[in-house]
A and B are shown apart, each in its own frame.
Chain A
Amino acid sequence: GQQVMQIPQYQHVQEGEDFTTYCNSSTTLSNIQWYKQRPGGHPVFLIQLVKSGEVKKQKRLTFQFGEAKKNSSLHITATQTTDVGTYFCAGRNNAGNMLTFGGGTRLMVKP
């Protein structure tokens, strides 16, 4: 079945440093979604990428979808303590009926 791997599992950064999490699927995806879960909270949808090679930005966050539509990345520029949380990618299969979450990357930011 479809597998979505996410690395790294954990990342500690100093406030102001950049951060990147990577997501890789075993199969081609129709789209990929990113979610953020704050400590003690629930996952909240951030963005969806659909097109091959697509790049989207939300303030300091940059999301990319690979040309082959099998991988994606989330890059945060100049992290802040408010960025703390776990970031999950979720890939939808080509049939559209299955959404598979990656294992998440837990980001910790030292002030």
Chain B
Amino acid sequence: EADIYQTPRYLVIGTGKKITLECSQTMGHDKMYWYQQDPGMELHLIHYSYGVNSTEKGDLSSESTVSRIRTEHFPLTLESARPSHTSQYLCASSLSYSPLHFGNGTRLTVT
């Protein structure tokens, strides 16, 4: 039941490039989240949104930015990718404070 979609699934990119990770959900959820996770490790909240035109930074400092112009869309942008950004990025959504639905993630490698 892939109701939350992330693209690309894998991305290898050179240092200094600008990248946008896409996240869309078709469930009409009001809340959306971005987590950063190294393989098998903790989930770090980097951004969240409680609705259109609402975005907040999470617990983990991140050089990325997000936007929420439409309910279903919550893209994450890195203006200048660095090797330290290599990680998996997981998007999630929820209806109000119900449990989270996660996307399949984007595995980012910055060379």
Contact = CB atoms under 8 A, between A and B. Distances in A.
Interface of A: 1, 33, 35, 39, 41-45, 48, 86, 88, 90, 92, 96-97, 99, 101, 103-104, 106
A42 B43 contact: no
Contacts of B92: 43
Contacts, number: 39
A101 B43 contact: yes
B42 A92 contact: no
B43 A43 contact: yes
Interface of B: 40-43, 45, 59, 90, 92, 97, 99-105
A97 B101 CA distance: 17
B-side binding surface: helix, strand, loop or mixed? loop
A104 B42 CA distance: 6
Given A86-B40, A88-B43, A101-B42, A43 B102 contact: yes
Contacts of A48: 99
Nearest to A43: B102
- Among A1, A45, A97, A106, residue most surrounded by chain B Cβ atoms (within 10 Å): A45
Contacts of A90: 100
A106 B41 CA distance: 9
A20 to B, nearest CB: 19
Contacts of B90: 42-43
Given A42-B90, A42-B104, A43-B90, A33 B42 contact: no
A106 B40 contact: yes
A23 to B, nearest CB: 13
Contacts of B103: 42
